[in-house]
Amino acid sequence: MKTWKRALLYGSGGALFAGAGCSAGSSNGGAFDSNFAPGNGSTGSNASVGNGGAYASSSSGSSASLPPETKVESAFRSPVATGQVVWIANPASGRVAYIDATTFVVKTVQAGNGPTYLAAVPDPTDDKAIVLNVLSQDATLLQVHQGTLTTRSFPSTATANAWSVSTSGRWAIAWTNTRQVPSADPTQGFQDVVVLDLSTGADARPPTRLAAGFRPVQVAFQGDANAYVVSQDGISVIDLLDGPQPALVANYPLSAPPPPPLLDAQPPPDAGEADANAMDGGVADGGLGDGTAPAADAGADVQSSSSSSSAAGDVVPDVSFTPDGSYALVRQDGVPSIAVISLSDGSITTVPLPALPTDLTMSPTGAFAVAVLRDTSTIAVLPVPGIASAPTSFTTTTIPGEIIGRAIVTSAGDRALLFTTAAPVERMTVVTLGASPSYRTIPLHAPILAVFPTPDAESAIVLNNLTTPSNGVEGAFSIVPIAADVPANIISLPAPPTAVAISPLGDRALVAMRDDTSHTYGAYLANTSTREAALYTLASPPIAVGIVGGALAGYAAQDYSEGRITFLDLQGDGGAASARTITGFELGASVVEGSAQP
């Protein structure tokens, strides 16, 4: 039975919360989607695209022949964690289990029929989560208040498979992430979204079903005022508060300039090429734990949820929103420019760039965006919102001799991590942004698969891409100091890494690995200060890791028929004493204490 696994897999929804500065706090550094796990046949093919083995010999040559950069950080998902509680849905039993990470007590609550997609709901006092019941086509809001759990039901759509929740926790939108739909008919638009007001006050709006654009891939909020649905039709604007109920008020096209012809040397963009920036700054469904996001280039007020690939095969631009929701920046593959869309009126400003951008990243502060021009080993820093009025006001910084295809801006916005996943380059460049940018190149001793900076911007966890595993080594990750000029520590793994989570303080990180062939399962608890890592062997394949900040514990959700999760003491040393596994959520929740008999 894969039900628990499935629920965990999709529990975090379709987008990764990347807003390190988000007031709600992000839960997850992300988790490898099972796409990366051998034998885990989920959607997408990021790993295959990103391996880049065919280009290993071109690391020192021209980058023009390189494939598109891969952005797999979004595939790193975790179960939903709120406060001290981890939520896991069981579609088979119709129940949702919530596990107290401090007491390890498991309880279950009856949801609808087929609870599958979970998302955490920010709340200052309570543990709240909302789950999509795919069979009964409704949603259940779960709220634990002072130990008592209550539920509320809401309508949903027939095809919804993702959540987007506003930072305040008031709004939740159930929508269909078409990138999670492996084979959609051309006539299937998946345009229905349901906007739910989770508040209980007198001014609470009724649940509202709206038709957004064709095949949504991303949903973002601007505070509690507006929501944006990114689709092939553009950006649909939902006014949440002005009317008696939410209403779709506008739809802005994503680009004014027609897309230029594709470069002959470039292969067609892969479906997994979607920009990680699109996830930046959003409250990912299921991403409201206490963990932190790997990248942080979204503003404080705008959160978006998206996925990184389109299973339907449609090319959807990489959209990033400014934190205040005034602008959206759009990058399209093969287009040597950035479109800046004013969300107030839909006007588009085209920012021509000297080369094709391979990545676009919004700073978490919202002050600028970074576009990476791999062909020239240059980054362009676009001031926001100034770039909208002065399209040429961006500045460029060239990193000579380095192939850089992607950029991730740290949470403080003062550094950018530059690297490439398209070539077997074993280096990463840290650029200190400012009036006089400087950079430092860090040798990593292995190509890069994904990069996860810590929230404190002191370190980063880098997953290495091993093209030719040997000697029992199937993968590796590196603990990379960003602020200090000390060597990175590469740790070889007996199984490919499958998930990463970073603690809110940035001092600990969890890296899960999984090899179903050799039945090698485990999770490394990395200390970013000492750059050491301790191995916890897991009893079953991990499918996600996460951090429960309230409990100072990490957890590794595993693929097990009865449901299994292992909690790891973040201060532990890898010994058994600092790990506690909970298996059989249904059974654990069924423990009943009788009544006293005087």
Partner 1 sequence: MSRSRVLLFLIACAAAACSSRPEYWNRDPSALATLGLQNAVALVDDVDHEVVLLSFGSGLTVAKRQLVSVGHNVVSETVSADGYHLFVLSNGDWPPRSTNDQSPSLTVVDTTGFTPSTPAQSTTYTMSEPFSNLAVDPQVVPGPRYAVAYQGSTTSAVFVDNPNELVIFDLAAPYAGPAAAKPNPVVRTIQSFGGTPQTLTFTPPLRVNPAIEPQRLLVVQTQIDVTLLDLDHAFDTVPRPEVTLPLTSATATTPVHPAAVAIDSFSTEPDDARIAIRTSNGTNVYTIAFGPPNPGVANDFTPTVNLTDVGGIPSDFAFVRTDAGLRLAALVPSQVKATLIEPDTSLTTDVSLTDSYSSLSLVTGAVASSTSADVALLWNGTNSASGVALWTLSNTVGQPYFSIRVLDVSQSIQTVADVPKSSLKVLQSNSGDQFFVLDLNARTVSPLRTSGTAVLSIAPDGKRVWAYARGLDQLASINFGTLNPSPLWTELPIDAVFDVSCADGSSQRVLFALHSRGSVGATLFNAIDPQSKATPPARLSGLLFQEAQ
Residues in touch with partner 1 (CB under 8 A)? 1, 3, 90, 92-93, 95, 100, 103-106, 147, 536-540, 561-562, 564, 566, 576-577, 579-584, 586-588, 590-598
Contact between residue 447 and residue 52 where contact means Cβ atoms under 8 Å apart: yes
Q: Is 58 helix (H, G, I), strand (E, B) or coil?
A: helix
What is the rounded CA–CA span in Å between residue 163 and residue 257?
Answer: 31
Closest to partner 1 by CB, 425 vs 545, is 545
Shortest distance, position 594 Cβ to partner 1, whole Å:
4
Closest to partner 1 by CB, 202 vs 592, is 592
Residues 6+ apart with CB under 8 A from 253: 233, 234, 346, 348
What is the rounded CA–CA span in Å between residue 455 and residue 439?
Answer: 20
Q: C-alpha distances in angstroms, 410 versus 27, 76, 323, 462?
A: 16, 18, 15, 14
Q: On the CB side of 170, how many CA atoms lie within 13 Å of its CA?
A: 18
Closest to partner 1 by CB, 50 vs 91, is 91
Closest to partner 1 by CB, 100 vs 507, is 100
What is the rounded CA–CA span in Å between residue 45 and residue 31?
Answer: 15
Shortest distance, position 85 Cβ to partner 1, whole Å:
13
Shortest distance, position 543 Cβ to partner 1, whole Å:
15
Closest to partner 1 by CB, 378 vs 540, is 540
- How many of the other CB atoms lie within 10 Å of CB of 275? 29
Shortest distance, position 62 Cβ to partner 1, whole Å:
49
Closest to partner 1 by CB, 94 vs 496, is 94
Tokens representing residue 51 in the block: 């391996």
What is the rounded CA–CA span in Å between residue 388 and residue 329?
Answer: 10
Closest to 580 in 3D by CA, of 528, 539, 534 = 539
Closest to partner 1 by CB, 54 vs 587, is 587
What is the rounded CA–CA span in Å between residue 101 and residue 549?
Answer: 10
Contact between residue 318 and residue 332 where contact means Cβ atoms under 8 Å apart: yes
Closest to partner 1 by CB, 159 vs 581, is 581
At residue 132, φ and ψ (nearest 5 deg) are -90, 125
365 Cα distance to chain centroid: 18
What is the rounded CA–CA span in Å between residue 185 and residue 339?
Answer: 30
Tokens representing residue 428 in the block: 């990463």
Q: Token pair 């909970």 is at which residue?
A: 582
Closest to partner 1 by CB, 60 vs 103, is 103
Shortest distance, position 160 Cβ to partner 1, whole Å:
24
Shortest distance, position 525 Cβ to partner 1, whole Å:
13
Closest to partner 1 by CB, 127 vs 318, is 127
Shortest distance, position 235 Cβ to partner 1, whole Å:
42
Q: Token pair 């002065």 is at which residue?
A: 390
Shortest distance, position 576 Cβ to partner 1, whole Å:
5
What is the rounded CA–CA span in Å between residue 278 and residue 589?
Answer: 38
Q: Is 39 helix (H, G, I), strand (E, B) or coil?
A: coil
What is the rounded CA–CA span in Å between residue 423 and residue 402?
Answer: 11
User: Which one-letter DSSP state was computed for residue 53?
Assistant: G
Shortest distance, position 94 Cβ to partner 1, whole Å:
9
Q: Output the CA torsion 61→63→68→70 (10° steps).
A: 70
Shortest distance, position 104 Cβ to partner 1, whole Å:
5
Shortest distance, position 567 Cβ to partner 1, whole Å:
10
Closest to partner 1 by CB, 135 vs 576, is 576
Shortest distance, position 386 Cβ to partner 1, whole Å:
54
User: At CA 334, angle to CA 331 and CA 340, rounded to 5?
Assistant: 25
Tokens representing residue 420 in the block: 């490439």
Q: Is 120 helix (H, G, I), strand (E, B) or coil?
A: strand
Beta 327-331 vs 337-342: how paired, if at all?
A: antiparallel
What is the rounded CA–CA span in Å between residue 445 and residue 477?
Answer: 10
Closest to partner 1 by CB, 175 vs 521, is 521
Contact between residue 160 and residue 176 where contact means Cβ atoms under 8 Å apart: yes
Shortest distance, position 529 Cβ to partner 1, whole Å:
25
Closest to partner 1 by CB, 95 vs 415, is 95
Cis peptide, bond prior to residue 447, ω within 30 of zero: no
Beta 497-502 vs 508-515: how paired, if at all?
A: antiparallel
Q: Terminus-to-terminus CA distance in the chain, angstroms? A: 43
Shortest distance, position 42 Cβ to partner 1, whole Å:
23
Closest to partner 1 by CB, 147 vs 201, is 147
Q: Is 408 helix (H, G, I), strand (E, B) or coil?
A: strand
Shortest distance, position 144 Cβ to partner 1, whole Å:
12
Closest to partner 1 by CB, 41 vs 594, is 594
- How many of the other CB atoms lie within 10 Å of CB of 348? 18
